Amino acid sequence: GRAQAVFQTTNATTLAVGGASRSGIEAALASVLERGDRVIVGNYGHFGELLCTLAERHGAVVERVAAEWGTPVDVDALVSRIRAAPPKLVAIVHADTSTGILQPLKEIGQACRDTGALLMVDAVLSLGGCAVEVDGWNVDLAVGGLQKCLGGPPGLALLTASERARQVFTSRPSEVDGAYLDLNALEALWVRRHGLELAAVPMAMLYAAREALELVLEEGLAGRWERHARASRTLRAGLQAMGLELFADDRARVPMITLIRVPSGVDESGVRAQLLAERGIEIMAAFGPLRGQVWRIGTMGTNAALPSVLAVLAALEAVLASRGWDARPGAAVDAALAAESANAADDGGR
Amino acid sequence: GRAQAVFQTTNATTLAVGGASRSGIEAALASVLERGDRVIVGNYGHFGELLCTLAERHGAVVERVAAEWGTPVDVDALVSRIRAAPPKLVAIVHADTSTGILQPLKEIGQACRDTGALLMVDAVLSLGGCAVEVDGWNVDLAVGGLQKCLGGPPGLALLTASERARQVFTSRPSEVDGAYLDLNALEALWVRRHGLELAAVPMAMLYAAREALELVLEEGLAGRWERHARASRTLRAGLQAMGLELFADDRARVPMITLIRVPSGVDESGVRAQLLAERGIEIMAAFGPLRGQVWRIGTMGTNAALPSVLAVLAALEAVLASRGWDARPGAAVDAALAAESANAADDGGR
């Protein structure tokens, strides 16, 4: 019901994995992959690397189609690779929090469907914050988490599998590595309600998931996506008015996290520590090659709203000013409010 | 801190696994076992079978030392097997909910320590309800869950590993099957606080665990164990006064769940359904070879107390009476109250 609606799918095999988001990602990969299977991973950030690591851990031979951190994977190049020699599985992140980049998926899904490859998508960051069209894009396995744009607590992964994917894990000749993350067992428990393990399901997390999904559906998916997009536009207008430079090309950016280049001469971790200590606001460091070079500000769930955006802008302006950064006081908030008015006018004109 | 106290250990490697109790059991087995390793499983119920299944799933060659359902494993026989040909690991359940039997562990732990075998114990049911002396009994890996005698919600496993066990999983030549349940990664996250995954820990479950453990330690371990023992004695006195027969030998029974033989001619599942529908009390069916033959009544956490015991006795008496069972009305509650007085007198005499 609720999880299917959020994934935009009619997949019967839509279930919860009792663990962090990555337990769901590992369940998907471990359950369809066997030793020696070819996997193509579209890799444009930290969580693409994780897909490679996990696929290799479960015996697959991984071919990377990589993009530099800050751009999505070249869809034409990836599609050509898939069509030239279809792998068993293509795995890719939909929205990678390490780079703030959104990956277009539709053509990749079509190529997979045409060639018989399965498509597995890490939608942990994107689910609930922008469209994740599992059925519309021919995604065979998708995984989400509660704690990003669904606005719930961490500790439960949501997973959906197409009938094609289900055929693969139910009919594989070898056993899945490990029992806890075996989709055959998870499907028996959650979908067919078999097994004696119902007493062991994480009830508190299930209630949290039900409530989070209910709130998402009450708001409506389209409204929620637009709210995330507006919050990002508003935040970015304020940051630029402060004289800060955003990371990556605007057209490729996700609508739930914003990456900012740390100006030269500014103490990256010092600013974060001061924001947390003096203002109670946590912004995030970067991963891997971007470490020390960018800050990351999330606008997810309840924080994808004007009050949170204005609070972080005012706080960041004050902290930067205390460190000698030269920007007109109030410029960020003014620009954000102007952008919010323009957003509202856009909405009115529809 | 708190988890170490409950496990009665000084093990530095004491941590949480984000998942059901069995995720912790699988993490322990998967992390120390490699292909072809010899494992001896002491098997006296459903969860002993699970240890066999999981050890085999991770490539081990399992030798079973089995007991009939209703008795613990013969300690002398198991110790002889260990001493004659020490395996890499001995795995055993401390208290198996399927049979209500408590397994003595001290001599098994001594044999393991003497011979260099590791001892892994499933303490999911026992932890918090009776003594689990990880250090005192030379247990190398122990796993508990919040939702039994610790009185918390399901969804997080507690795990402790001795330095001997830690040496095994940190120095193994082959990779652990799977990443999510790899104790090397879990130790880096929880003990050494490495890694970028802190954002993914199940915070709501951690708060629940902290609160549950805090309540356990406020009560005191010895007091809590005695409360569980008293609740069982009281319940059993009432059941016997009703003319019901308990399963298994009294000396071997666990102090947190009571198994009752279903009298011949009584509808096992009908009684359970009626108790739930009319009284809101859930008692449990049995597993495997005991299915249909016994009921199981838990007295764990907050239910290990006189009001819960009297409520279930009165309800069961009424339901059985409605089905023609012949017992003096009130006999069960009277006997329970008499047993409770005797319990109190015993305490007073200390």
CB A213 within 8 A of CB A6: yes
Q: Which of B205, B257, B296 to mutate to test the interface with A (most CBs of A within 10 A)?
A: B205
Q: For Cα atoms A40, A154, A221, give the angle at the middle one, nearest 5 degrees.
A: 75
d(CA A27, CA B19): 13
Determine, for residues B204 and A153 on separate chains, whether the beta-carbon distance falls below 8 Å.
Answer: yes
Instruction: Determine the 3-state secondary structure of B199 from DSSP.
Output: helix
d(CA B70, CA B101): 6
- Token pair for B42: 């002491």
Q: Which residue of B has its CA nearest to A124?
A: B200
Query: Which three-class secondary structure string do you get for A220-234?
Result: CHHHHHHHHHHHHHH
Determine, for residues A179 and B23 on separate chains, whether the beta-carbon distance falls below 8 Å.
Answer: no
Residue A335's pLDDT is 97
Of residues A19, A145, A203, nearest to B153 (C-beta): A203
Residue B344's pLDDT is 78
pLDDT in tens, B210-249: 999 999 999 999 999 999 999 999 999 999 999 999 999 9
Q: Which residue of A has its CA nearest to B125?
A: A200
E strands, chain A, are 13-17, 38-43, 61-66, 89-93, 95-96, 101-102, 118-122, 141-145, 157-161, 245-246, 257-261, 294-298
pLDDT in tens, B308-336: 999 999 999 999 999 999 889 999 999 99
Distance from CA of A208 to the nearest CA of B (A): 9
Distance from CA of B123 to the nearest CA of A (A): 15
d(CA B83, CA B112): 8
Determine, for residues A180 and B22 on separate chains, whether the beta-carbon distance falls below 8 Å.
Answer: yes
What percentage of chain A exceeds 70 in pLDDT? 97
Q: Tell me the pTM.
A: 0.94
Residue B195's pLDDT is 58
pLDDT in tens, B116-139: 999 999 999 999 999 999 999 999
Residues on chain A touching B53 (C-beta within 8 angstroms): 179
Residue A195's pLDDT is 58
Q: What is the arithmetic mean of pLDDT over B246-263?
A: 96
- Token pair for A65: 């189609």
What is the number of CB-based contacts under 8 A between chain A and chain B?
115
Distance from CA of A200 to the nearest CA of B (A): 6
Q: Which of A87, A27, A81, A86 minimizes the C-alpha distance to A57?
A: A27
Q: What is the arithmetic mean of pLDDT over B30-54?
A: 97
The continuous run of DSSP H or E covering A28 comes out as helix A21-32
Residue A345's pLDDT is 77
Residue B203's pLDDT is 86
Residues on chain A touching B56 (C-beta within 8 angstroms): none
Q: With a cut of 70, say whether residue B349 has pLDDT above it.
A: no
The low-confidence residues of chain A, meaning pLDDT below 50, are 349-350
- What residues of chain A have any CB closer than 8 angstroms to a CB in chain B? 18-23, 26, 30, 46, 53-54, 57-58, 145, 147, 153-156, 175, 177-181, 196-197, 199-205, 208, 287
What percentage of chain B exceeds 90 in pLDDT? 90
pLDDT in tens, B135-163: 999 999 999 999 999 999 999 999 999 99
Q: With a cut of 90, say whether residue B21 has pLDDT above it.
A: yes
- Token pair for B350: 């200390």
Distance from CA of B344 to the nearest CA of A (A): 33
Q: What is the arithmetic mean of pLDDT over B61-90?
A: 98
CB B147 within 8 A of CB B153: yes
Burial bucket for residue B36 (CB in 10 Å: 0-12, 13-18, 19+): exposed
Of residues B58, B180, B204, nearest to A19 (C-beta): B180
Higher pLDDT, residue A123 or B200: A123
Q: Which residue of A has its CA nearest to B57?
A: A178
CA dihedral (A301, A304, A310, A311) in degrees, to 10, reads 10
Of residues A177, A179, A196, nearest to B287 (C-beta): A196
- What residues of chain B have any CB closer than 8 angstroms to a CB in chain A? 18-23, 26, 30, 46, 53-54, 57-58, 145, 147, 153-156, 175, 177-181, 196-197, 199-205, 208, 287
